[in-house]
């Protein structure tokens, strides 16, 4: 049984949580990992979860549970206003069924209790994954992630392909070979999650360290955010043509493009940029803007269960 196999696992900074009894329903403060039984995984997302968090959870659990079928509950009303199938065409070696209605999720039944877990959107790692040194949180660690750890997750992200509408938008952007990706995660909800809406000047400082003729691919969340970048780097800023900042198709295209440059500048703590990095092969050399934000924010959002080993199909 998975619970017995992971009895000795510890949860960083909140070890007492391991002694809590298993719960059968989620609570606002304790996200729960669904148990995979008979090769079927039931995967749910909060309506408030963005693209980055949703794809991280999907990849992490596919790698962890190795199911033969995935029941994917993907709310399309909320922060993400599109179906999974509208945005992605996964090349997974499994079958999957997408659900978008909250009524349908209630039909799912579980034969085992769920495992208490603090962050459902972290990339799961095990002691076995780290052949050298002490295991550490790999979420948004970019350049610090050992190559052998990147090789573990690369195939899972590589299997996520853009849907035709997203691919069309990606193809509309022609970046110079040495372009640098810049992601500016500024929006009212960002402060609510404990992050800073960093001023454009902080991004300018990072961008100015590149050669003066450098072109930049900009992923911004509004025309107002993008405007000062176009003004300062006139003729050197690339965005999706006629970008619709409210479009999930354009957002997904941005995500794929963020990982396709040799170097990148990302907002601190953004899983949107993080997944873009993974989708691009986890190769870009990343500079983070906003790392002066309290480290506690990242740890609070990414507390991670480090397990002794992966489960078997019978668990």
Residue ranges per structural domain of the chain: 2-139+301-307, 162-294
Under the banding of pLDDT at 50, 70 and 90, the label for residue 105 is very low
How large is the average pLDDT for residues 193-212? Answer: 86
Is residue 68 predicted with pLDDT exceeding 90? yes
Question: Which 3-state string (H, E, C) describes the chain?
Answer: CHHHHCCCCEECCCHHHHHCCCECCCCCCCCEECCCECCEEEEECCCCCCHHHHHHHHHHHHHHHCCCEEEEECCCCCCCCCCHHHHEEECCCCEEEEECCHHHHCCCCCCCCEEECCCCCCCCEEHHHCCCCCCCCCCCCHHHCCHHHHHHHHHHHHCEEECHHHHHHHHCCCCCCCCEEEEECCCHHHHHCCCCCCCHHHHHHHHCCCCCCCCEEEEECCHHHHHHHHHHCCCCEECCCCCCCCCHHHHHHHHHHHCCCCEEEEECCCHHHHHHHHHCCCCCEEEEECCCCCHHHHHHHCCCEEECCCCCCCC
* The token pair that represents 73 in the structure block: 């509950």
What CATH number has the domain spanning 162-294? 3.40.50.11350
How large is the average pLDDT for residues 199-218? Answer: 96
Q: What is the pLDDT of residue 292?
A: 57
137 vs 48 pLDDT, higher one:
48
Q: What is the pLDDT of residue 199?
A: 87
162 vs 186 pLDDT, higher one:
162
Q: Across the chain, what does the average pLDDT equal?
A: 78
Q: What is the pLDDT of residue 120?
A: 72
Alpha carbon 181 to its chain centroid, in Å, reads: 17
Under the banding of pLDDT at 50, 70 and 90, the label for residue 240 is very high
**Percent of the chain at pLDDT exceeding 90:** 52
Q: How far apart are CA 74 and CA 54, in angstroms?
A: 8
Q: How far apart are CA 298 and CA 141, in angstroms?
A: 10
234 vs 5 pLDDT, higher one:
234
Alpha carbon 46 to its chain centroid, in Å, reads: 14
How large is the average pLDDT for residues 23-31? Answer: 39
Tens-digit pLDDT profile for residues 54-63: 999 999 889 8
Answering whether pTM is above 0.75, one says yes
**Percent of the chain at pLDDT exceeding 70:** 70
Q: What is the pLDDT of residue 8?
A: 29
**β partners of residue 168:** none
Task: Residue 95: name the closest of 67, 74, 61, 69 by CA.
Answer: 69
Under the banding of pLDDT at 50, 70 and 90, the label for residue 135 is low
């Amino acid at each position: 049984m998975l619970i017995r196999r992971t009895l000795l696992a510890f949860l960083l900074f909140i070890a007492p949580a391991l002694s809590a009894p298993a719960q059968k329903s989620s609570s606002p403060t304790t996200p729960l990992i669904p148990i995979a039984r008979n090769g079927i995984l039931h995967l749910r997302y909060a309506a408030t979860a963005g693209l980055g968090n949703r794809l991280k959870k999907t990849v992490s659990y596919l790698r962890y549970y190795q199911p033969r079928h995935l029941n994917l509950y993907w709310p399309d009303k909320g922060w993400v206003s599109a179906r999974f199938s509208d945005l992605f065409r996964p090349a997974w070696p499994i079958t999957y069924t997408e659900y978008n209605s909250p009524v349908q999720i209630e039909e799912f039944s579980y034969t085992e209790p769920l495992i208490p877990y603090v962050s459902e959107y972290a990339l799961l790692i095990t002691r076995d994954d780290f052949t050298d040194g002490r295991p550490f949180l790999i979420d948004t660690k970019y350049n610090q992630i050992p190559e052998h750890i990147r090789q573990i997750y690369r195939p899972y992200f590589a299997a996520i392909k853009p849907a035709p509408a997203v691919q069309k938008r990606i193809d509309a952007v022609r970046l110079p070979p040495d372009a640098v990706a810049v992601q500016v995660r500024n929006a009212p909800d960002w402060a609510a999650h404990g992050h800073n809406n960093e001023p454009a000047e902080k991004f300018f400082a990072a961008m100015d360290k590149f050669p003066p003729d450098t072109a930049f691919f900009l992923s911004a969340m509004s025309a107002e955010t993008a405007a000062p970048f176009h003004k300062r780097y006139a003729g050197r800023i690339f965005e999706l043509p006629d970008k619709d900042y409210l479009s999930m198709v354009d957002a997904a295209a941005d995500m794929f493009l963020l990982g396709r440059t040799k170097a990148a500048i990302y907002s601190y703590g953004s899983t949107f940029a993080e997944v873009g990095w993974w989708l691009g092969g986890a190769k870009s050399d990343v500079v983070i803007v906003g790392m002066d934000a309290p480290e506690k924010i990242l740890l609070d959002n990414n507390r991670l269960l480090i397990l002794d080993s992966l489960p078997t199909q019978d668990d």
